[in-house]
Amino acid sequence: MDTSIEGLRVVVTAGGSGIGRVIAESFARAGARVHVCDIERRTLDELGAAEPAIGATLADVAEPREVDRLFDEALERLDGLDALINNAGISGPTAAVEDLAPSDWDRTMAVNVSGQFYCVRRAVPPMKRAGGGSIVNISSTSARTGLPFRVAYAVSKVAVLGLTHTLARELGPSGIRVNAILPGFVNNERARRVVREKAAALGQTPEAYERQLLEFISMRTMVEPEEIAHMAMFLCSPAGRHVSGQSIGVCGNMEHER
């Protein structure tokens, strides 16, 4: 099985921290040429100090002009594109639907859905010129389970699945495969923060809420960010050359979310 990604030209959005940084570093250490974006200069500086071979652009994917700048810089540096990891996303508000501010809804959709579209529209032309490529959209297990008090986030991640399945059909004839990864309960700081916020909304301690959450995961475990990176690498490698239009959970089988 050929899982080599040596020389692959890759853009990773929100690659300065969290899952995105783990993905970017994993690809780079496996020999890929990587360019990332992030909205925080500090995280990009920290990544650059640790991984100087990774290029970076300060950009908010919810802003089309900033996405244009990202891809102008990435394409100039990489001289083409083979893979896009559409990782940028925000957790959105934690609130009852009747208390949800329209501005919070709009911002969540702008980053999590429109941001992926803006990136895809710029990634597809160079992939077509290259004769094909791979797009990996990061969704969430919430897209299939629902997630009370996080309606903006959950709905945005359902939209990512629609984008994925539609693009797989549209771009397949051009040799571009499109898949979605659905991370579950990831062992990182962002997930811990969401646990704290959700526990507060439910009037529970974070520890109690985490125990309850694990009860609804078949394998009773969190997943590591590296596991998301490894799945993305597989999908972008020759071993994944005929995998397209799929929504792949990396979650220990999330049965339900509270």
Q: Is 153 a catalytic residue?
A: yes
8 A C-beta contact, residue 135 and residue 122: no
Q: Which of 71, 118, 153, 234 is catalytic?
A: 153
* Burial class of residue 189 (count of CB atoms within 10 Å of its CB; 0-12, 13-18, 19+): exposed
Phi, psi of 177 (to 5 degrees): -100, 145
Q: From CA 30, how far away is CA 208, in angstroms rounded?
A: 39
Q: Is 96 helix (H, G, I), strand (E, B) or coil?
A: coil
DSSP labels for 98-115?
A: GG--HHHHHHHHIIIIIH
User: Active-site residue numbers?
Assistant: 153
